[in-house]
């Protein structure tokens, strides 16, 4: 129930509920409404007279019947102490809240730092068998970019290729248009990736590239053959054989990609006069007469497949690269011992000295 007090303080005693009055005021209302008082007031029954009983005023709810205000209790004298207690508790609550907020921000900062470290580590981490292509920070800062497409719709400073679980194959198994497909286009049992590099520095520059073996397992790199296309010309690399000489293979058929060779000596024709050639080394051959030979270029070191220098790349000029890697089945080191092995290759670009 809502109780509204009149502004003019003319509330009648009959309109005030006893539960809202002090004990003395309630008794006053009851005495005014008692039968004795009613009979003593001749005007009451007629309905024309005025009540002479003293009604409790609207503000009488806070007073005793004699009009005196109730005295404060002894405990109420300590109200300031209670207020101080509430202020103190409120201040402590605010302090705790501030510490909670500070702790929350510290937690956010710690989590952000951890994520940043993990992101930086992931930029340098490569999984087993992955192929990574990356620009040096100075080149990327100056305006060199990589892309999987000629229009450079997505300019990058690092390109990652996925690992391939591969069995041994032969160079004849490589797709003939391998250098004409953009981006990562791995085939069955070989890795293939075509990408582009552009110079947007505003000046002519020289840069160098290196194709490295970052890590490997079970000496799988001994059977690894790598074909590197640079602006349409290719070279096939392999580790030297057990005799320290370049790996070779022979066939009665013309080897693929011969028309794109950067070095004509990579493909030669041999005859039966070469007594060091065994007929078993020639694919699909019954004799060694007029066989074709593919002579690989040796790795620079056990960890470096090849290096190269590009002189005079002009502003807005674009270079095209295609990297193809496979385990060559004709390589004498391609044995069951490398089963389960892997090779991780990294190609880096830097300014030429």
Rounded Cα distance, 68 and 73, in Å: 15
Rounded Cα distance, 104 and 124, in Å: 31
Rounded Cα distance, 331 and 125, in Å: 30
Assigned domain for 327 exists: yes
Residue 102: per-residue pLDDT = 61
Judgement on whether residues 25 and 135 belong to the same structural domain of the protein: no
Q: Is the dihedral of CA 164, 165, 168, 174 positive or negative?
A: negative
| Domain ranges, residue 206 | 128-247+296-351
- Select from 62, 89, 119 the last residue of a domain: 119
Q: Using one digit for the tens of pLDDT, what is the confidence trace for 245-276?
A: 999 998 888 999 999 999 999 998 877 555 46
Residue 27 phi, psi dihedral angles, 5° rounding: -65, -35
Report the 10 Å Cβ neighbour count for 240. 14
Q: pTM higher than 0.75, yes or no? A: no
Judgement on whether residues 54 and 165 belong to the same structural domain of the protein: no
Alpha helices (H) along 133-280? 137-142
Q: Give me the number of domains the chain comprises.
A: 3
In Å, how far are 163, 178, 184, 226, 346 from 326, measured between CA atoms? Answer: 12, 13, 15, 7, 15
Residue 240: pLDDT above 60?
Answer: yes
Residue 24: per-residue pLDDT = 42
Rounded Cα distance, 165 and 189, in Å: 7
Judgement on whether residues 134 and 192 belong to the same structural domain of the protein: yes
Judgement on whether residues 82 and 66 belong to the same structural domain of the protein: no
Residue carrying structure tokens 């690269």? 321
Residue 119: per-residue pLDDT = 53
Assigned domain for 221 exists: yes
Of residues 292 and 281, more confidently modeled: 292
Rounded Cα distance, 230 and 235, in Å: 9
Assigned domain for 143 exists: yes
Report the 10 Å Cβ neighbour count for 313. 19
Contact in structure between 309 and 352 (CB atoms under 8 Å) = yes
Q: Using one digit for the tens of pLDDT, what is the confidence trace for 160-212?
A: 988 888 899 999 999 999 999 999 999 999 999 999 999 999 999 999 999 99
Per-residue confidence band for 310, with pLDDT thresholds at 50, 70 and 90 = very high
Residue count of the chain: 353
What is the share, in percent, of the chain residues with pLDDT greater than 90? Answer: 52
């Amino acid at each position: 129930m809502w109780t509204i007090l009149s502004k003019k303080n003319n509330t009648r005693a009959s309109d005030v509920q006893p539960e809202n009055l002090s004990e003395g005021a309630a008794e006053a209302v009851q005495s005014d409404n008692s039968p004795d008082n009613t009979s003593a007031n001749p005007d009451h029954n007629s309905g024309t007279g005025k009540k002479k009983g003293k009604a409790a005023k609207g503000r009488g709810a806070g007073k005793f019947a004699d009009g005196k205000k109730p005295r404060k209790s002894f405990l109420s004298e300590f109200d300031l102490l209670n207020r101080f207690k509430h202020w103190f508790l409120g201040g402590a609550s605010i302090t705790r809240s501030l510490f909670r907020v500070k702790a929350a921000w510290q937690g956010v900062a710690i989590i952000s730092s951890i994520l940043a470290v993990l992101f930086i580590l992931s930029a340098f981490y490569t999984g087993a068998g992955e192929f990574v292509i990356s620009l040096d920070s100075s080149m990327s800062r100056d305006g060199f970019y990589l892309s999987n497409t000629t229009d450079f719709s997505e300019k990058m400073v690092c390109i990652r290729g996925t690992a391939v679980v591969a069995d041994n194959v032969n160079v004849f198994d490589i797709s003939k248009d391998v250098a004409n497909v953009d981006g990562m286009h791995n085939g069955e049992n070989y890795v293939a990736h075509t990408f582009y590099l552009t110079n947007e520095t505003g000046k002519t520059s020289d840069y160098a590239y290196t194709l490295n073996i970052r890590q490997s397992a079970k000496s799988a790199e001994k059977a690894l053959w790598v074909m590197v296309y640079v602006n349409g010309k290719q070279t096939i690399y392999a580790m030297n054989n057990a005799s320290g000489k370049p790996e070779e293979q022979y066939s009665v058929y013309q080897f693929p990609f011969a028309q794109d060779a950067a070095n004509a000596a990579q493909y030669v024709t041999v005859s039966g006069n070469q007594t060091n050639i065994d007929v078993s080394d020639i694919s699909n051959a019954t004799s060694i007469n007029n066989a074709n030979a593919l002579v690989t270029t040796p790795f620079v070191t056990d960890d470096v497949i090849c290096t190269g220098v590009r002189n005079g790349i002009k502003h807005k000029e674009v270079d095209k690269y295609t990297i193809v890697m496979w385990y060559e089945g004709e390589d004498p080191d391609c044995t069951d011992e490398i089963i389960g092995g892997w090779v991780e290759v990294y190609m880096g670009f830097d300014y030429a000295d």
